Amino acid sequence: QVHLVESGGGSVQAGGSLRLSCDFSRTTISSYCMAWFRQAPGKEREGVAGFGGGSTWYADSVKGRFTVSQDNDKNTLYLQMNSLEPEDTAMYYCAGYLGASRPTSDFMNSWGRNRSGYWGQGTQVTVSS
């Protein structure tokens, strides 16, 4: 059974920073394409950042502010979020897809729609102005 557990969410003011963590229960995280998605109330789930096959992918809205990284020894995926904006307020989800390699825009968009693979329960991020 694969389990993903997110942590690190919270409430911050605009301009602040948060670091999300995703603990992955399998010891082969490097075999998965891992990603962060988010969903705000009344909006569709959207990809934020992906990590796989030695490559990273970012949504245009977070480029230059967010950084995704992975520690294979700890089986943990991270999302460092800087210069947070009220528009970043959402539930953030960690997800893993076995066998996929490099995340691309098309793959991330499809993944967010069909929600295949493995998903965590989410961690809430709230940014106040």
pLDDT tens profile 12-32: 999 999 999 999 997 788 899
Alpha helices in 2-126 (DSSP H): 105-114
pLDDT digits (tens, 9 = 90+) for 24-68: 997 788 899 999 999 999 999 999 999 998 899 999 999 999 999
pLDDT digits (tens, 9 = 90+) for 77-127: 999 999 999 999 999 999 999 987 789 999 999 999 999 999 999 999 999
Q: What pLDDT does 114 receive?
A: 93
| Rounded CA separation 27/17 (Å) | 29
Cβ–Cβ < 8 Å for 62, 120: no
